[in-house]
Amino acid sequence: MSLAIDQDSESKTKPRLSAALQEELTALLGDRFTTAMSVREHHGKGEAYHPSAPPDGVAYANSTEEVSAIVKACAGHGTPVIPYGTGTALEGHTLAPQGGITLDLGGMDQILRVSPEDLDCTVQAGVTRNTLNEYLRDTGLFFPVDPGADASLGGMSATRASGTTTVRYGAMRENVLALTVVLADGRVIQTARRARKSSAGYDLTRLFVGSEGTLGVITEVTLRLFGIPEATRAAVCSFPSLEAAVNTVISIVQCGIPIARCELLDDWAMKMICDYGKLDDYVIGDTLFMEFQGSEASVAEQAEMTQAIAAEFGAGDFKWASKLEDRNKLWEARHNGHYAILAAKKPEQHVMATDVCVPVSRLADCIMATKEDLLQSNLNSGFIGHAGDGNFHMSIIANYDDPEENRLAHEFHDRLVRRAQDMEGTCTGEHGIGSGKIDYLEAELGEAVDVMRAVKRALDPDNIMNPGKMLRL
Amino acid sequence: MSLAIDQDSESKTKPRLSAALQEELTALLGDRFTTAMSVREHHGKGEAYHPSAPPDGVAYANSTEEVSAIVKACAGHGTPVIPYGTGTALEGHTLAPQGGITLDLGGMDQILRVSPEDLDCTVQAGVTRNTLNEYLRDTGLFFPVDPGADASLGGMSATRASGTTTVRYGAMRENVLALTVVLADGRVIQTARRARKSSAGYDLTRLFVGSEGTLGVITEVTLRLFGIPEATRAAVCSFPSLEAAVNTVISIVQCGIPIARCELLDDWAMKMICDYGKLDDYVIGDTLFMEFQGSEASVAEQAEMTQAIAAEFGAGDFKWASKLEDRNKLWEARHNGHYAILAAKKPEQHVMATDVCVPVSRLADCIMATKEDLLQSNLNSGFIGHAGDGNFHMSIIANYDDPEENRLAHEFHDRLVRRAQDMEGTCTGEHGIGSGKIDYLEAELGEAVDVMRAVKRALDPDNIMNPGKMLRL
């Protein structure tokens, strides 16, 4: 029995779920393999505007050995494998446009080792960042990378995620020490040893970080950890203009203040989060959310320097929070940004999350030109940015089933990406290419994409690992 | 006319410098292509114990376009290309065991762009780190990675170098933002845009950082820069034992003190540098050289915390230096370590520089077991380490032409590498694999080395890029 569904013409060239593979997977996993339509549909949807594309079956794996066996079985039939963590990817990474088996790693939720003396740990790929941080609390350590969603650490590795704390602690690129990966033929490798640094061969860790499931399945992740700082202080302040807020960020970065978080929200985004959270104690204006970490003396010094810079750019309405519950409340408002936007949209609308990143010196230019474009485009959107990294998002709320709205939103996004690329920036600071940005990648890196294709063909000659993502082969 | 020299049996299978290629390169470069024996011999020697292996010719390139043309010409004849910066590699990276053309990038010495507002710059591959830092002095910025030698930034990228400041600022892995690379067929790619972070496709930057010239020739490097800190303070102190010094380092790292440099020298190494520099104001004992950077308040706090930790482990004879010339004098002693050792060896002797790196929690075990082994082996060596990273070097002085001495030194090194690997460490923290550690890489990463081979074959199918290094194909 074949469950092949005609989704697009390319899919017809791929073997879909054959009766033989279905038998093999059932023998391997019992009821942890299913072809139930509701489960397939659940796994075939992204969080964003992409049309859904369900797989032909869903396999739940609990160990690297099981992942290896599943991939081997699929490879034997040439059937696609789509790794799945929490389904919070924003560029359609977990869709199955060519059908195949979604490999759900949510059950791989074991924290395998924490070494406080080495400031590192190893987790299974399905462990989420909040689960890890709750587990770590008593050790005095934490894992800093914070993309907003409570994503799995395997998924965060696969998309090279970053987030609010990257300006201080780096992205997944800097914080993954080693990976266990199941290759396209089912073989299992360890990309590196646990030493802090190494010059032993090609940097396979960094090759798989950001590979979006197209080269293999990440099953275990060794991560750097950090000591919870002695003191932490958060601040919010508002500015007379978006430009003033952006210029404050640029000055903070250029002065070398080791700010731990530096988030920009414009008046549109502030209205969203205040409406959603029923918050009446924020100014609806162009705003920075900031956090300082370190020793008491260092935090005081950072806060003082930052306040002086912000004051020069006309900042006012400073709110400070030092106690954990006050800081959590303050950051909850910021972290609810995405959900506030989802709550504000009408049922027929969806959200496209843009993700450009430019050199910090170009950030004001890029944001101001984009703001002008936004005003002229009459689209429902605004700015939320990891401004310290030069990275900002615009969530464009539109009815993507309406051809005209769809066209306007995509044309706006096209102009935004081109503007960022013209400023030596990138189409994606942290969300990845997925199925949504394949052409932008070509425009951005040209012939380098041929090198990526050569690597892909070398490691996955039959193109079964998350096909249709990142690269057009 | 062929200049083929019988160096080893494998070399016979490679086309060497044919008359046609010689004509092409001469037409392209004029007198910047030479087959003069003295120039070939100069380029065929490493800084270490490896037997020399001169290329068949040396080509001096001044631009990416010239590198591309040279590589294309060599590719047309299947002739090996060996990239060469300053010749300071320690694992035989620049030797030509299969003959071919050494591509000397020393003439690519232009600093192409410095953007103080973005804290980054782009340089040609032949610019050395000291040249860059001298150029930057007036901007208030500096480039931190410091491997000791005044190496070229292209070479430092190619070996994934690190050094004394990596404990604070990271290695080349963390500090290269983008590369221009000439591929094995002469095509030129840019690996990434200039944005601070990106999720756009496979991380080709990190794939080429540490590829040791085996995948392509790095011709331009975009680097992160840092503001020169407001305050800097250096310190030296000595300990009652090597173990006490190592345990001090482990405590400093585990306390999260953002120490900028933390270098360990044992009594053997201290005697070397004091003899070499005619220094009589240091104790000949197990010693830490440290540096603290930041605001005045932060430096004072770091220094105080560190001194308290060191005192617990019995440290004494503290020397402090704050003024630039005093700090330079203090660090000059440490930086002369390698040259002190070269000066101490007899003419018939050479130096093997070991380079293991282990998780910091295992550093004391690894060093103490190795010290015991050293005492029993009766070899002339000692410890110099970037202890904060878990990385340490032993320079083994021996007559490597004497089969017995050669055997003893290599057996000691074998045991050292195996000891580090058994502790989840690596055979190389920063020197690379080159021609000296190919078997250790296999032992360390097993099947992952097959993935490296697949990548190598995909990007350099004819194996002309620095053949015989890193991988056995």
Q: What is the CATH number of the domain that holds B120?
A: 3.30.465.10
Query: How far is the C-alpha of B418 from the C-alpha of B397, rounded, in Å?
Result: 20
Q: Answer whether B204 touches A (CB < 8 Å).
A: yes
Q: In which element (H, E) is residue A353 found?
A: strand A350-353
Assess if residue B289 is contained within a domain: yes
pLDDT at B47 over 90: no
Assess if residue A461 is contained within a domain: no
CATH number, residue A240: 3.30.70.2190
pLDDT at A358 over 70: yes
Assess if residue B459 is contained within a domain: no
Query: Do the chains contact at A210 and B201, CB–CB below 8 Å?
Result: yes
Asked if B115 and B223 sit in the same domain, the reply is yes
pLDDT at A406 over 70: yes
**Final residue before a domain boundary, out of B340, B355, B384:** B340
In chain A, the N- to C-terminal Cα span, in Å, equals 29
Query: Do the chains contact at B201 and A295, CB–CB below 8 Å?
Result: no
Q: Answer whether A284 touches B (CB < 8 Å).
A: no
Among candidates A117, A424, A440 on the partner chain, residue whose Cβ is nearest the Cβ of B194:
A424
The SS3 of residue B193 is coil
Burial class (CB in 10 A: 0-12, 13-18, 19+), B216: buried
Query: Do the chains contact at A183 and B119, CB–CB below 8 Å?
Result: no
- What is the model's pLDDT at position A425? 98
Region of poorest pLDDT, from A49-53, B145-149, B160-164: A49-53
- What is the model's pLDDT at position B237? 97
User: Measured between alpha carbons, how far is residue A470 from residues A433, A435, A440 in Å?
Assistant: 5, 6, 10
Burial class (CB in 10 A: 0-12, 13-18, 19+), A276: middle
Q: Are A199 and B428 in contact (CB under 8 A)?
A: yes
What tokens were used for A243?
A: 């430009």
Asked if A66 and A124 sit in the same domain, the reply is no
Query: How far is the C-alpha of A135 from the C-alpha of A129, rounded, in Å?
Result: 10
Structural domains counted in chain B = 4
Chain A residue nearest residue B439, CA to CA: A200
Asked if B134 and B214 sit in the same domain, the reply is yes
Note the residue count of chain A.
473
Question: How do residues A203-228 score in pLDDT, each as one tens digit?
Answer: 999 999 999 999 999 999 999 999 99
Among candidates B173, B358, B459 on the partner chain, residue whose Cβ is nearest the Cβ of A451:
B459
Burial class (CB in 10 A: 0-12, 13-18, 19+), A471: buried
Name residues 319-338 of chain B within 8 A of A (Cβ): none
Q: Answer whether B429 touches A (CB < 8 Å).
A: yes
- What is the model's pLDDT at position A11? 44
- What is the model's pLDDT at position A51? 81
The SS3 of residue B84 is strand
Asked if B382 and B317 sit in the same domain, the reply is no
Residue listed under structure tokens 């995509």: A410
Mean of pLDDT values over B129-134: 98
- What is the model's pLDDT at position A50? 78
Mean of pLDDT values over A151-174: 97
Q: Are A470 and A453 in contact (CB under 8 A)?
A: no
Assess if residue A295 is contained within a domain: yes
What tokens were used for B222?
A: 């975009």
Query: How far is the C-alpha of A162 from the C-alpha of A126, rounded, in Å?
Result: 17
Region of poorest pLDDT, from A61-65, A192-196, A252-256, B218-222: A252-256
Q: Are A293 and A164 in contact (CB under 8 A)?
A: no
Residue listed under structure tokens 């993954």: A176
The confidence band for A14, taking pLDDT boundaries of 50, 70 and 90, is low
CATH number, residue A68: 3.30.43.10
pLDDT at A338 over 90: no
Asked if A181 and A254 sit in the same domain, the reply is no
B238 has which bridge partners?
B287, B316
Nearest in space to A397 (alpha carbons), one of A81, A85, A49: A49
Assess if residue A454 is contained within a domain: no
Q: Answer whether B266 touches A (CB < 8 Å).
A: no
Residue type, A21: L
**Final residue before a domain boundary, out of B87, B107, B127:** B107
Q: In which element (H, E) is residue A233 found?
A: strand A231-239
Q: Answer whether B447 touches A (CB < 8 Å).
A: yes
Query: How far is the C-alpha of A469 from the C-alpha of A214, rounded, in Å?
Result: 7
Calculate how close chain A gets to B194, using CA atoms only, in Å: 6
Among candidates A187, A297, A448 on the partner chain, residue whose Cβ is nearest the Cβ of B204:
A448
Asked if B19 and B100 sit in the same domain, the reply is yes
Asked if A249 and A333 sit in the same domain, the reply is yes
Q: In which element (H, E) is residue A405 found?
A: helix A403-422
pLDDT at A62 over 90: yes
Q: Answer whether B470 touches A (CB < 8 Å).
A: yes
What is the pairing mode between strands A391-398 and A350-353? antiparallel
Assess if residue B468 is contained within a domain: no
Residue type, B363: L
The confidence band for A13, taking pLDDT boundaries of 50, 70 and 90, is low
A319 has which bridge partners?
A236
Query: Do the chains contact at B206 and A173, CB–CB below 8 Å?
Result: yes
Asked if B65 and B125 sit in the same domain, the reply is no
The confidence band for B7, taking pLDDT boundaries of 50, 70 and 90, is very low
Q: Are A373 and A412 in contact (CB under 8 A)?
A: yes
- What is the model's pLDDT at position A351? 92
Among candidates B118, B201, B437 on the partner chain, residue whose Cβ is nearest the Cβ of A360:
B118
Burial class (CB in 10 A: 0-12, 13-18, 19+), B358: buried
Q: Are A467 and A98 in contact (CB under 8 A)?
A: yes
Question: How do residues B252-276 score in pLDDT, each as one tens digit?
Answer: 988 889 999 999 999 999 999 999 9
CATH number, residue B403: 3.30.70.2740
B101 has which bridge partners?
B57, B81
Residue type, A390: G
Asked if B223 and B293 sit in the same domain, the reply is no
Query: How far is the C-alpha of B132 from the C-alpha of B109, rounded, in Å?
Result: 10
In chain B, the N- to C-terminal Cα span, in Å, equals 30
Q: Answer whether A64 touches B (CB < 8 Å).
A: no
Q: Answer whether A54 touches B (CB < 8 Å).
A: no
Sign of CA dihedral B358, B361, B366, B368: positive
Asked if B270 and B188 sit in the same domain, the reply is no
Nearest in space to B98 (alpha carbons), one of B216, B211, B214, B14: B14
Query: How far is the C-alpha of A372 from the C-alpha of A139, rounded, in Å?
Result: 48
pLDDT at B13 over 70: no
pLDDT at A12 over 60: no
On average, the pLDDT of chain A sits at 94
Asked if B392 and B290 sit in the same domain, the reply is no
Of all residues in chain A, what percent carry a pLDDT higher than 90? 89
DSSP per-residue string spanning A129-153? HHHHHHHHGGGTEE-----SS--BH
pLDDT at B314 over 70: yes
User: Measured between alpha carbons, how far is residue A381 from residues A164, A344, A457, B161 in Å?
Assistant: 20, 11, 39, 44
- What is the model's pLDDT at position B6? 37
Query: How far is the C-alpha of B277 from the C-alpha of B306, rounded, in Å?
Result: 27
Q: Look up the ipTM and state it.
A: 0.95
Of all residues in chain B, what percent carry a pLDDT higher than 70? 96
Query: Do the chains contact at B196 and A389, CB–CB below 8 Å?
Result: yes
Query: How far is the C-alpha of B61 from the C-alpha of B154, rounded, in Å?
Result: 13
Q: Are B166 and A397 in contact (CB under 8 A)?
A: no
The confidence band for B122, taking pLDDT boundaries of 50, 70 and 90, is very high
**Final residue before a domain boundary, out of A44, A77, A107:** A107
Residue type, A74: C
What tokens were used for B315?
A: 């440290």
Sign of CA dihedral A429, A432, A436, A437: positive
Mean of pLDDT values over B384-403: 95
Assess if residue B305 is contained within a domain: yes
Asked if A216 and A123 sit in the same domain, the reply is yes
The confidence band for A46, taking pLDDT boundaries of 50, 70 and 90, is confident
Cα A352 versus chain centre, distance: 14
Assess if residue A451 is contained within a domain: no
Q: In which element (H, E) is residue B121 found?
A: strand B120-124
Q: Phi and psi dihedrals of A7, rounded to 5? A: -100, -40
The parent domain of residue A150 ranges over: 111-227
On average, the pLDDT of chain B sits at 94
pTM here is 0.95
Q: Answer whether A250 touches B (CB < 8 Å).
A: yes
Which residues have a Cβ under 8 Å from the Cβ of B272 and sit 6 or more positions away?
B337, B340, B341, B344, B382
Mean of pLDDT values over A184-212: 97
